[in-house]
Amino acid sequence: MRSLAEGLPPEVASRVNPQWRANERAYWTVRDSLLAEHGGRWVAFADGAVIAFGASPVEVFEAGQSSGRHPFIIRVGAEGEPCPMRRASFSYDAAYPGEPLPLLTAEFRITRGAPGVALDRVIPDTGADASAMPWADCQALGLDPSSGVPGRIGGVGGSSTSTLAFLTWVWLDGRECSCRLQADFTGRERILGRDVLNQLEVLFRGPAGLVVVNP
């Protein structure tokens, strides 16, 4: 099986933690034996064993990354499926006023409970399984490739691309939410996905042009 680290920019791939690579290889040696008990589940696999599992990828991701063991995190039996981001790009019609785009400002943190960086023009996207931001933003946050988890993200057209996922936290409206942040090496949008949005109540007031968090 092709490593998930392949396809990343070479300078990033070279910094993927070797412990994660060892856990990825070890997972594939026992993968078939995991299907009966964990088929369809998200698992975090490290040091030859499943150390966390569940239906929620962000919960498994947080538990696995918090272990400090650089686990291989995957949905058993669906290893080839990319994380859906459900984004599409369209050329603007200069003669058409277009539809307003909901945006918000959120503080992204790389350490729980510690101040982070407030980023504006973040798109709350209920069609995205996980949050994402351009690699330049990830670097500005101080995210280290050696702590990232290689994976794939895909859009509505069926295409997919390599990513690094990071355990981060988002501070929004006085609440800190865990976040499965995907590094986007090709896009330019900041996306707040359902990994965070499902932990909040969000009201889209289209006629007023407002996004209200925890109304």
Residue 214 lies in a domain: no
Residue 179 lies in a domain: yes
| CATH number for 176 | 2.40.70.10
Residue 162 lies in a domain: yes
Q: Report the DSSP pairing between strands 42-46 and 72-75.
A: antiparallel
CA distance 41 to 37: 9
Q: Report the DSSP pairing between strands 202-205 and 149-154.
A: unpaired
pLDDT score of 127 more than 80: yes
Residue that terminates a domain, selected from 25, 44, 78: 78
pLDDT score of 86 more than 70: no
The domain of 73 spans 10-78
- pLDDT tens-place string over residues 145-174: 999 999 999 876 667 899 999 999 999 988
Residue whose entry in the numeric block shows the structure tokens 């994976």: 151
CA distance 164 to 153: 9
- This prediction has a pTM of 0.84
Judgement on whether residues 111 and 171 belong to the same structural domain of the protein: yes
Q: Which two tokens stand for residue 139?
A: 């670097």
Judgement on whether residues 197 and 121 belong to the same structural domain of the protein: yes
For the residues 76-105, what does the mean pLDDT come to? 67
Judgement on whether residues 140 and 60 belong to the same structural domain of the protein: no
Q: How many domains does the chain have?
A: 2
For the residues 136-140, what does the mean pLDDT come to? 97
pLDDT of the residue at 21? 97
Name the CA dihedral angle for 184, 190, 196, 202, rounded to a multiple of 10 degrees: -150
Judgement on whether residues 132 and 51 belong to the same structural domain of the protein: no
Q: Where do runs of H (alpha helix) occur along 110-149?
A: 135-141
Judgement on whether residues 49 and 111 belong to the same structural domain of the protein: no
pLDDT score of 90 more than 60: no
pLDDT score of 124 more than 50: yes
Residue 187 lies in a domain: yes
Residue 98 lies in a domain: no
Cβ(114)–Cβ(38) below 8 Å = no
Judgement on whether residues 52 and 114 belong to the same structural domain of the protein: no
- pLDDT tens-place string over residues 193-213: 999 999 999 888 887 878 888
Residue 215 lies in a domain: no
- Cβ neighbors of 56 (< 8 A, separation 6 or more) are 42
CA distance 118 to 204: 21
pLDDT of the residue at 157? 64
Judgement on whether residues 120 and 189 belong to the same structural domain of the protein: yes
Judgement on whether residues 191 and 111 belong to the same structural domain of the protein: yes
pLDDT of the residue at 139? 97
Name the CA dihedral angle for 138, 142, 144, 147, rounded to a multiple of 10 degrees: -90
Judgement on whether residues 109 and 185 belong to the same structural domain of the protein: yes
Residue 165 lies in a domain: yes
Cβ(4)–Cβ(24) below 8 Å = yes
